[in-house]
Structures are given as C-alpha cells and as structure tokens.
Amino acid sequence: MNSKTVKLTQMMQIANHGHILYIYDAIDSYIENAVSYIMTGIEHGHHLLIIENKERYEQIYLKLQEALSHDQLDYIHYIDNYEFYRLYGDCHCESIVNHFTQIIKPFLSQQISFRTWAHVEWKEQDHITSKLEHFENIADQSVSSSGLVSICAYDGNKISALLQNTMLKSHEYLMTDNELVKSNLYQKRTVVFPSLSVQSDHKKVEKQLKAIKHQLESFIMQNSDPILILDKDDKLITINRAFERTFGWSADEVVGLNATDLPIIPDDKRFEVNRNRSFAILGENIEGCESVRKTRDGTILNMMLSCFPLRDEEDKVSGRAVIIRDISERKKAQELLIRTEKLSVAGELAAGIAHEIRNPITAIKGFLQLLQSGSIEKKAYYGIIAAEIDRIEQILSELLMLAKPQAINVESKNILSLIKDVVTLLDAQANMNNVQIIIKFDHSETCVRCEENQIKQVCINFIKNAMEAMPKGGKLVIQIKNVNEEKLLIRFIDQGCGIPKHLLSKLGQPFYTTKKKGTGLGFMVSKQIIENHNGTVVISSKENKGTTIEVSLPL
C-alpha cells in the first residue's frame, strides 16, 4: 500500500463512530484510501455502502477484486452518487435524507454493522453551501446517534474554503490524502471565537453599550427625583443623590437592605412595598401612586411613586426601579386652594344668610315691642321667639364651621344629617330662587368615613351650581343611595339649563366659569376632595333639561 495513504486502521480508535470529512487532491491517493477504508471495514465485519460515481467505483472495485474473496465482496453495496445527490435535480436535503434512511433500513433492522463512503458531488446551484451544511448537520446527528463510521469525500479542487470550513463544523475528523486529524471546529460552536472582523464589531457594540450605560447611570444619579433600584430579591442595589438629599440617609446606610426594611417607609405603609413588588414581578408598572415617606428627621412627606420592572437580557424580570416625587408642596398648594375656595363660598353664603337672619330678627324685634307694650299675652310668643333664635344659631354655627380653618379630621359621619346641615345653610337662597330641595334616601343611618367639612363644602358647591342653573326656580333632588356594602352614591339632580356636550370636558378645569361672578373653582375643588376620599365624580347633562352630578364614595 502506498505510504502516502492514511493508515485507516487508525480510525478504529475513533470511539464508536466517526464522521470524517475527506478533502482529496490526488485521484490515486483517493482510490488507495477508499480501498483501505473498505478493507479495514470488512476486516471488522462491517458492510459498506459506497456512494460513488460509476467511473471511480470501477477503479476502486478493480483493486478490491484483487484483494478480497467473493464472499467479502458481497459486503460491498454500491449506490450511484449521481442518483443519490441529484435525485431530485437540485440538492434537496430532505429527499436525500429520506432516500438514505430507506437504504439503511434493512441494515438497521437486522442489526448489521455498516460504514459508508460517500463521494459528495453536486451540480452548480444557488445556496449550495447552506444546503450542504444543513444536510451534513443532519448526517452528523445520525452518524453520532447510530455509532456509524462515515466518510464524506469532497474534491479539494472544487470545494471552496468557505464550504470546507462549514463542513469542519459537522465532521469530527478531517482527512487529507495523507493525514487524519480531529477537526478543531467540530461541535465547539459554543466556544468558537469570533473572527477578527466580528471581534472589532463586538468592540464597537461594547463601546456603544458602555456609552449607553454611562448615560443611564448619570440619568439616574443626576435625576432630581429620588430613584431606587432593587434586585430580584427586592434588595436595594442603587440609590441616587436626590434620594440622599430628600431623605437624609446615605447609600452606605441603605444599600443592601430589603425594600420592606428601608427606614423611609412608615410602618403603616410597609404593605405597599410588597404590593408594588408583586406588580413588578408580574411585569406591571405602577404610575403616580400617592403615598407618604419618612425622612431621617421624622418628617412625613407626601410622595408620588412610580415603580416599573427591570428585565435581563432574556426579558425576565430581574428587579425593579422606583421613582419617588416629592409632592408635599403641591399637596400644600392644593389644600390652600381648597381652603381659599371654602372661604369664598362662605363669603358668598354670608350675603344670603344675612338676609335669612334679618327676617327672624325683625320678627323677634316686633314681638319684643309688643311684649314691652303689654298688648299681647306673653306665654304664647316665648316659644316662637326661642325657635327663631335657635334657627339663627344653627345657621350661624354652620357658617362659622365653613369659614373657620379646621384641622383635617377624618371620622365616620352620618351622611343624611351632614346633607341636612348643608341644606339649612342654603335654604334661604333656595327660597329666594324658588328652588325646592328634596332629599331622598335609602337608609337614614348610613355613615361615611370622611372629613366632614370638606364633604359639606362639596355638597354646597354642587347645590349652589344646581340652584344657579335654575334661575327661574325648579326642583333639586338630592338622592342618597346605598349601592352595596362598599359604595354610596349621592346624586344632585337639577332641572336647570344643562351643559352643552362640548363644554363638559371643561368642567373641572380651574377658572372655567360661565357666570359673571363665578370663580370657576367650585367644581374642580369638589372633585379633588372626592378623589382624596377615594371616590369619583361623574356628570351627565342635557341642555335645557338638567344636570346630574353623581358622587360615589367608599363606605
């Protein structure tokens, strides 16, 4: 045997299987190697499937006939490679694989060992590299799963370097006319290093990523709102300077703490932390949730919190970011507005009330004169005078209540008596305007947790608006409805001028008024108060028919 040929017996050291890429150059060596391969196989009791062109096979077979007996020659099975690879015109991977599967079926079913020699040839066609790559990948899988030894021979003068390298990934061994080596590229795809051009691309991307990271870091650090970054276990990993400034704790003191243990969270708000975390885990954002947080010196600040999940490169939630905005100043301004508006309502009411009070005072004065003159029976009139004085007292105390700044005091209040108190104040104006106020209710005992004065302020605003919408008089129905155990509705239903559809959205904007002496603040402030009570305000209106303002409050 030619010394240049590969000692193919070596191949038997190839574990149990071997997918070998043979890039041949000289035909002589090719034939020598094929013969050696076949003979070694037969020595090991293997059958041989030779996928080869006719001419080359004849050359090989001639040599084999010299060396092998008839019985041994029966181990060789010839398959025309022209038919095999060009069976359906273009190289069609699935067809080839199916064909091959059919061929080897009888061997596998009878548990006959075999090895293959395939001379891969193809006619010029598009995408041949990727077609062959696909085919050889499948072939490699079947070779390694069936423990087959298989040679795929490619003409080194025809195969492109690109195709050769591609093939080296699906073949465990590379053979040339006189060498056999392990393929460095085989199945090492995961640790294959990118080529130089890709590496420089990587560097570019790396630089870009660094720049973005830098931008994000400074965006977080320089942000004027406190920002916290928490990992997937809800441990604090980053805070920014605004956090330190606002709350007074430094990064050293808080980084590493669990979110629920952060000193900025008042005890009664710890449940919020777990709730926000659950939202983040589900991939949900929380936007603009109002709450309070504590500074190092114990000051409670009104805060608006936004919280959103952070994701890793596999799009899994890997933590969350929390942005906190100090809205204490805004809250103060809102409270101031509510107070100012209240005072202006009180001022307006005072004019009407002066009127209301003058009537009983005139009556009392008259009775006093009559009593002084002794012209009437005293006893009968004392009762009337006392009742008139009571009424004056009641009205004045309501007015004072409204005008006086009060500490915010949330208590459970009977809603029916609250509304009756308000109506007392407004009766005078209602009478003057010919408006009849009718109160309807489901239960007289329903109580609502609220800031009494603020809810009164809301009712006054809505009743006043209703009366002002009915300058010629009409009915105002105040309906108190228990929707269920959790919700109460208060409807103010008037028969006034109504609000044109296109102006409905303006209601609630500050200073929007259609009245000469209006402030355009009543509706907005009332809506704010109700929302602060976790309720809602809904308007429905028909021009020239009337308006219904529906306030819902949690019970």
CB of 335 to ligand ADP, least distance (A): 18
**Residue 515: CB minimum distance to Mg ion, A:** 8
465 interacts with ligand ADP by CB under 6 A: yes
Helix (H) or strand (E) holding 396, with range, is helix 378-403
Which residue of this chain has its Cβ atom nearest to Mg ion in the complex?
522
Min dist CB 464 to Mg ion, Å, is: 5
For the record, the structure tokens of 278 come out as: 């659950």
**List of residues 6+ apart from 459 with CB closer than 8 A:** 418, 419, 422, 478, 490, 492
Residues 518-547 that bind ligand ADP (CB under 6 A): 518-524, 547
**Least gap, CB of 509 to ligand ADP (angstroms):** 9
- Measured from the CB of residue 496, what is the shortest distance to ligand ADP in angstroms? 5
CA distance 436 to 434: 6
Residue 471 makes contact with ligand ADP by CB under 6 A:
no
The helix (H) or strand (E) run that includes residue 245 is: helix 241-247
Interacting partner of 96 out of ligand ADP, Mg ion, none (Cβ under 5 to 8 A depending on kind): none
List all residues 6 or more positions away from 267 whose beta carbon is below 8 Å from its beta carbon. none
Non-local (6+) Cβ contacts of 200 within 8 A are none
Query: Under the criterion CB under 6 A, does residue 461 sit at the interface with ligand ADP?
Result: yes
Q: Give the CB-side neighbour count of residue 316, counting CA atoms within 13 A.
A: 4
Structure tokens at 447: 């109580």
Integer angstrom CA distances of residue 36 from 40, 60, 74, 115, 493: 6, 10, 17, 13, 104
Contacts to ligand ADP from residues 71-110, by CB under 6 A: none
Query: Which positions touch Mg ion (CB under 5 A)?
Result: 465, 522
Scanning 158-166, 170-178, 300-308, 505-513 for contacts with ligand ADP by CB under 6 A, the matching segment is: 505-513
Residue written as token pair 């006719």: 54
Residue 311: phi and psi, rounded to 5, are -120, 150
Residue 466 binding partner per list Mg ion, ligand ADP, none, with a CB distance cut-off of 5 to 8 Å that depends on partner kind: ligand ADP
Separation of alpha carbons 282 and 453, rounded Å: 41
* Nearer CB in complex with ligand ADP: 139/466: 466
Minimum CB distance to Mg ion, residue 524 (Å): 10
Helix (H, G, I), strand (E, B) or coil at 378: helix
Closer to ligand ADP at the Cβ: 99 or 475?
Answer: 475
Among 4, 472, 515, 545, binds ligand ADP (CB under 6 A): 515
Which residue(s) pair with 520 in the sheet?
none
Q: 178 in helix, strand or coil?
A: coil
- Chain centroid offset of residue 319 CA: 13
Work out how close the CB of 516 gets to ligand ADP at its nearest, in angstroms, rounded to a whole number: 9
Q: Does 513 bind ligand ADP (CB under 6 A)?
A: yes
Do the Cβ atoms of 107 and 142 come closer than 8 Å? no
Cβ atoms of residues 276 and 305 within 8 Å: yes
Nearer Cβ to Mg ion (24/462): 462
Any contact of residue 507 with ligand ADP (CB under 6 A)?
yes
Indicate the residue among 294 and 491 with the shorter CB distance to ligand ADP.
491
- Verify binding: residue 340, ligand ADP, rule CB under 6 A: no
Burial pattern 276-300, b for ≥16 Cβ within 10 A else e, equals: bbebbeeeeebeeeebbbbeeeeee
Options 91, 469, 529, 537; binder of ligand ADP; rule CB under 6 A: 469
Residue ranges in 68-111 assigned as alpha helix (H): 70-73, 81-86, 93-109
Binding mask 417-436 for ligand ADP (x = CB under 6 A): --------------------
Q: Does 226 bind ligand ADP (CB under 6 A)?
A: no
18, 352, 496, 535: residue in contact with ligand ADP (rule CB under 6 A): 496
Residue 52 binds ligand ADP (CB under 6 A): no
Any contact of residue 512 with ligand ADP (CB under 6 A)? yes
Closer to ligand ADP by CB, 453 or 457: give it.
Answer: 457
SS (H, E, C) 323-355: EEEECHHHHHHHHHHHHHHHHHHHHHHHHHHHH
Q: Which is nearer to Mg ion, 515 or 545 (CB)?
A: 515
User: Can you tell me which of 174, 303, 499, 551 binds ligand ADP, judged by CB under 6 A?
Assistant: 499
- Asked if 349 touches ligand ADP (CB under 6 A), the answer is no
Closest CB to ligand ADP among 322 and 458? 458
Residues that bind ligand ADP (CB under 6 A): 461, 465-466, 469, 494, 496-499, 507, 512-515, 518-524, 547
